[in-house]
Chains A and B, each alone.
Chain A
Amino acid sequence: MNAAIEVEKLEKRYGHVRAVDGIDFEVRSGEVFAFLGPNGAGKTTTVEILEGIRPSSGGSVRVLGKDPWIHGRELQRLIGVIPQDFHFFPKLSPREAVDLYAALFGASVSAHDLLRRVELDDKADDLFDTLSGGQKQKLGLALALVNDPKVCFLDEPTTGLDPRARRAIWAVIRSLKAEGRTVFLTTHYLEEAQLLADRIAIINLGKIIATGSPADIIRTYGRPERLRIEGDPAMVDRLRREVGVPAEVEDGAVAVEIHDKGDALKVLSWLGSSGYSYSSFRTSQDTLEDVFIRLVGSSEASTMELSPGADVA
């Protein structure tokens, strides 16, 4: 098992502020690794240190076995980067941008093929300053791929995009993984991480507070499965007393923690004979979002966009 990225005790201080406070993680070769955290958690600082454009204050970082700050020039040829809020020269077209990158990297790529891959071929000759946010981001992705990178750093690649553009970028990220490239993805969007990532690290206040696959994280930090009954909240006290299960009112419904099928059957048969009215019931499990809010704290999480569609009216 070889690691594409190894980070040990990484620190970054700005004066007295510890933006990154001794984090450790490893990204395996060929996986999609999502780096999650609220704004100001240290995500972008970490990515920029990995990309070699910002020095660390302590600890060690290896990308493809090299120190990015010292061997930045060699590493540039092996990595592809879309920075957060990607900008490019306003008066160049996507085709010219790709041709420029190809010449700078000495790579022979077809601008047309690359732009078609990111679904930007129809705007190949429009000037950058006339492109929409999603189209700009797609160009960023195309440029990150010009040098056929082994590791791709995507810093919030879908922030502020409409659902269609977001899905187009997700498709490209999946194809990167299929081609065996390592993807380091920072994101605001928990759904995006859950859909795309093999493994996740959650960072908050400069420290990593959870790592693992999405399922691992939910299993470790999530609450037990719950039976949700859309019905009279008054039943909660009698449920606790008469069935002996932990029950509470949650978002207007009655939620009962269940540890096995027997618990669920006991509750339902009690419900049938209790005379309380109810409209429906179903079981629910914590999502990554629920876990994230619990771990990061609701005040921190309120700065996050919790679902990718939230910004689209």
Chain B
Amino acid sequence: MNPSRIRAYFVAFAKGYLRNPIGLFFTLVFPIILILIFGAVFANSGSSAVPLYVENLDHNSPASVAFLAALNDTGAVSVTVVSPPAGTNFSSYLGTQGYSAGLIIPAGFQAALTNKTPIVIPIYTNPSAASQAGIALGAVAGVESAFNLHLAGGSMILTSTEYNVGSQIFTYIDYLIPGLIGFSILTSPMFSMVNISSTWKRDKLFRQLSLTPLTRAEWLTAAMVWYVLLAIVAAFVMIFVGRSVFGAHVSVVPWMFPFLIAGPVLFVSLGLVAGSVSRTPETAAVIGNVILFPMMFLSGTFFPVSSFPPYLQTVAHVLPLYYVIDGLNAGILFANSAGATRDLIIVIGVAVVLFVVAVRVFSWRES
């Protein structure tokens, strides 16, 4: 290993990469686009209330207004009072407006409460929006119980307060950032190495390098250093965008760096193996994608693995990227050193094995 040869080749490799707009796009721009899209789509998913449309036939009596205010206060629904044209069926009105949940405060609501005579509140839900229907029904039932209890002269015995898991409140974007850092740790080395190891073989560039004093180990070292640097830059950019655009609760922590080093080493090796065992650049691309795409989606990049059905969780647990992202989550979000350490050991172990395999199957000379 000669440092000046590694440095010289590293500079040439970096220039080649930086002058190729496609590589740069997928490394830096594409993950930012993903943050912006997924962030915008899911930014409010944690707190969004189900819209509930109400026709108040009790003429805004104080009791009916208090009931609707109590519904709003649950936070589960947001009440909008509507006035369908006279003679319209409320159910078909909701349907034509595209509303999926509604209720009617019947005339005589206040009187019924005052006289403690039973009265029925009709609720309309759309079975095709089952989760929204469930939320609306639950909220209404809860408020009704509270009113009934109060009218019966009782008082609350059991109550609860809500807390989030972890030390602070996390939103979707907080989980998305470590996932996308993992995504770029996976994609840029894999895409380029599969491409390099197959097209360079076709264009005899390895043969060309094999006629210089540069060794395979020096070549691999330069490439790995480059992808580690790219991963670090991508991580900083994504944390910056996540914080500044979406107010994500992520920051640069020391625990990131072992993953930003071991991850690219792992995927450079995997890409090299995939490219080396293929005869043509076309088959290499296919093999690369077969490895890449399931890993990209099943490792917790875009959605937490815990939300997967059990059999997909099992699949996720054999994908190396899962441990990179799990470790980044543990390090960046939860300050969970024990979890991050366990993940890191697995990532380093797999990286070492793949590195050894890559060095064995990747040959410059021809037989």
A residues at B contact (CB < 8 Å): 48, 51-55, 72-73, 76-77, 79, 81, 83, 85-92, 96, 99-101, 103-106, 127
Contact = CB atoms under 8 A, between A and B. Distances in A.
B367 A55 contact: yes
B8 A127 contact: no
A105 B211 CA distance: 10
B211 A81 contact: yes
Given A54-B365, A76-B212, A96-B15, A103 B207 contact: no
Contact of A83 (B9, B20, B204): B204
A90 B16 CA distance: 7
A96 B366 CA distance: 27
27 contacts: A52-B365, A53-B207, A53-B211, A54-B366, A55-B367, A76-B211, A76-B212, A77-B213, A79-B211, A83-B207, A85-B204, A88-B205, A89-B12, A89-B205, A91-B15, A91-B16, A92-B12, A99-B8, A100-B9, A100-B11, A103-B4, A103-B8, A104-B5, A104-B9, A104-B213, A106-B4, A106-B213
Interface string B37-67: 0000000000000000000000000000000
B213 A76 contact: yes
A28 B35 CA distance: 66
A146 B156 CA distance: 89
Contacts of B19: 91, 127
Which of B19, B208, B211 has the most chain A CB atoms closer than 10 A to its own CB? B211
Contacts of A54: 365-367
A100 B211 CA distance: 13
A98 to B, nearest CB: 11
Contact of A105 (B12, B20, B213, B367): B213
B365 A100 contact: no
A77 to B, nearest CB: 7
B210 interface: yes
B217 to A, nearest CB: 13
B218 to A, nearest CB: 9
Contacts of A89: 12, 16, 205
B292 interface: no
A86 to B, nearest CB: 8
Contacts of A73: 213
Nearest to A143: B208
A88 B207 CA distance: 11
B203 interface: yes
A101 B212 contact: yes
A72 B207 CA distance: 13
Which of A53, A73, A104 has the most chain B CB atoms closer than 10 A to its own CB? A104
B267 to A, nearest CB: 22
Interface string B225-255: 0000000000000000000000000000000
Contact of A91 (B20, B204, B212): B20
B214 interface: yes
A100 B8 CA distance: 6
Contacts of B9: 100, 104
B193 to A, nearest CB: 15
A53 B9 CA distance: 21
Interface in B336-358: none
Nearest to A127: B19
Contacts of B20: 91
Nearest to B203: A87
Contacts of A91: 15-16, 19-20
A105 B4 CA distance: 10
Contacts of A100: 8-9, 11-12
A101 B11 CA distance: 12
A48 B16 contact: no
Nearest to B364: A53
Contacts of A96: 12, 15
B16 A92 contact: yes
B212 A53 contact: no
A85 B205 CA distance: 11
Contacts of A86: 208
A58 B207 CA distance: 22
Given A91-B16, A91-B20, A100-B12, A83 B366 contact: no
A260 B30 CA distance: 82
Contacts of B211: 51, 53, 76, 79, 81
A101 B213 CA distance: 9
A16 B321 CA distance: 45
Contacts of A103: 4-5, 7-8
A91 B24 CA distance: 14
B301 to A, nearest CB: 30
A8 to B, nearest CB: 22
Given A103-B5, A104-B213, A104-B214, A88 B366 contact: no
Nearest to B212: A104
A127 B68 CA distance: 71
A73 B204 CA distance: 18
Nearest to A53: B365
Which of B11, B12, B20, B207 has the most chain A CB atoms closer than 10 A to its own CB? B12
A238 to B, nearest CB: 61
Nearest to A55: B367
Given A72-B365, A91-B15, A91-B20, 4 more contacts: A53-B207, A76-B212, A92-B15, A103-B8
Contacts of A127: 19
A73 B304 CA distance: 51
Interface in B14-30: 15-16, 19-20
